[in-house]
Structure formats: structure tokens, C-alpha cells
Structure 1
């Protein structure tokens, strides 16, 4: 019984893997862009500063990595950074005096900007 439990645990640990370094670099770039933007992030009806949003999204990433559910940056945006896993409500981003918008298109646009930068500028 003990050996079977240990084997099951080991199997689960072997399946869970961190995202590829190139994907992690893009996710880190997105989080840095969000933090530098001074935008606010709405989660379940409350507004948070970018640093708090970053910490929350990285915790969600860690959870999803444990389930081997993130292989691309787009999956991170879709599965971790678009909606609340507890309420199902979409996350929002508000920058300056602009109207709030859904986080998914905002992060997708930031990803496109990040990818458009020359490699030397990253």
C-alpha cells in the first residue's frame, strides 16, 4: 500500500513540469509590462495594483504548471489571466483614465508587442 502511494506520487511529480524557458520568458515579459504600465487589475469586483495582480497570476501559473496545463503563453493568458477560477468572472484591466477592458485582449496585445521587439531589445 505504501509503495503504491509513493509510486502514484512520483508519477504525478514526473508529469508536472514547469513551462518551457521560452514560454516563461514571455510570461515574465507580460508581467513586467503589466507592472510597468501602472494599470490596475480587477479580480472579482476589486481593483488591485499591478504588483498584486502579478503575484496572483504567478500563483495561478504555479498551480497550472503542477497540472501540466500551460504549454504556451496564450494558454497562460486563457487559463490563468482571463477569468477568475473561483467566480468565473472575467478579469479587467484599467489604465489611467481609459475605460476598463477585459484582460485577455489587453494581455494578447501586450504579447504581440513583446514578440515584435527585436531579440536584442528583450
Structure 2
């Protein structure tokens, strides 16, 4: 009886671990996310580091909200002069997004390592 219980517990544990491992490997690779109106002037996303640069009509708060939705919680945020740097960490990737005002638009620069 005890041996059967141990075997059942072991099988359940192995199935549970297998599900978690499968989910970890089944995750889609990280990709460069762009706002819907992005006017891209550079994009290199074939292999890491992934890079994209674009202009958008969205304001700074909308840009921040978009990337929080796509990449999760901001790890750090820093403003130097006119540049806002946002850092995210998703999976095994470090994500840096720099937002700057350019006339009546914003420039967004993305680097994913």
C-alpha cells in the first residue's frame, strides 16, 4: 500500500514538473513590439540584440502604457535631459526603451539583449 502511494505521488510530481518545463519551452521568443502608427526608420530583429527605431504620434504616457502591457513591469526608469529610458526584464531578455520628443512626435528606440 505504501509503495503504491509513493509511486502515485512520484508519477503526479513528474507530470506536474513536465507541464511546467513544457510551458517554459513553449513560450514564444521575445520580439520587438511597435505601436500601431510606428514610422520605422531602422529595424534589425533577425537575431539578438534586437533593435528598432521609430517615430510615433502617441504621447509619452501612452508609449509607457503600451510597453508595460507588452513587457510587464518597468524595472527602472530614468530621465536625463530630454531622454526617458525604460528598462524591462522579460524571460532571459533585458529590454531598454528610450523615448524622446522630436518636434510634434516621439522617437522610440528599442534594444533587446
TM-score by length of 1: 0.32
Which has the larger helix fraction?
A: 1
Between 1 and 2, higher relative CO (CA 8 Å, sep ≥ 6) is seen in 1
Q: Which structure is larger by alpha-carbon Rg, 1 or 2?
A: 2
TM-score by length of 2: 0.33
Which has the larger strand fraction?
A: 2
